[in-house]
Amino acid sequence: MDPVTGIVEKKVAEGAFNWVRKRLSPNAELQKELEAVKDRLEAAKRRIQELQAQFDVKKDFERRKAELQCLSDDDSMYRQKDGTGPYYCPLCLNADNKFIPLTHGTSDGSHYCSLHKQYFETLELRNRRRNNNQQRNSGGGHFRRGRPGPWS
């Protein structure tokens, strides 16, 4: 073989090799970028799943809350629309999105939220107390409770 031809062929081969290498290395870069994009996509998918779960919880909460009604006369406590089940704390429901059944307070119609350390009273209890006070102030009358007064 003509040495010149050999050199030329070698140069051509090197040139081709370099060309191929240049072609390949951007692909390697692309491959890396693709991996990074895939990672970001996976992270975004996980975030969407998290948000979806939060949304489901919120939707479930709103659905349950819609079954309740706010008893504005009874210190805005919440209860099932048919008047059954426990009373719920309006602060817990509206501020914290939580269903915390109130526990019984000191008397019938008094309800206590152990989270907010607050009592809630029904209109009926306030009326009963007012009537009792009026009866007491008017100096007697019948007490349904049957508790002896200070005068007896």
H-run or E-run covering 103: strand 103-104
CB-nearer residue toward Zn ion: 77 or 125: 77
CB-nearer residue toward Zn ion: 85 or 141: 85
CB of 104 to Zn ion, least distance (A): 15
- Phi, then psi, of 139 in degrees rounded to 5: 85, 30
CB-nearer residue toward Zn ion: 117 or 145: 117
- Reference 102, options 116, 87, 123, 122; nearest CA is 87
CB-nearer residue toward Zn ion: 61 or 128: 61
CB of 42 to Zn ion, least distance (A): 40
Identify the DSSP state of 148: P
CB-nearer residue toward Zn ion: 116 or 136: 116
Which residues would be at the binding site for Zn ion (CB under 5 A)? Answer: 89, 91-92, 113, 115-116
- The dihedral region occupied by 117, where left means phi > 0, alpha psi between -120 and 50, and beta the remainder, is left
CB of 105 to Zn ion, least distance (A): 13
CB of 37 to Zn ion, least distance (A): 47
CB-CB contact of 115 with 101 (8 Å): no
Instruction: Please list the helix, strand and coil fractions of the chain in percent, rounded to the nearest 5, in that order.
Output: 55, 15, 30
CB of 96 to Zn ion, least distance (A): 7
Angle at 24 between CA 22 and CA 30, to 5 degrees: 110
Q: Which residue is nearest to Zn ion (CB)?
A: 89
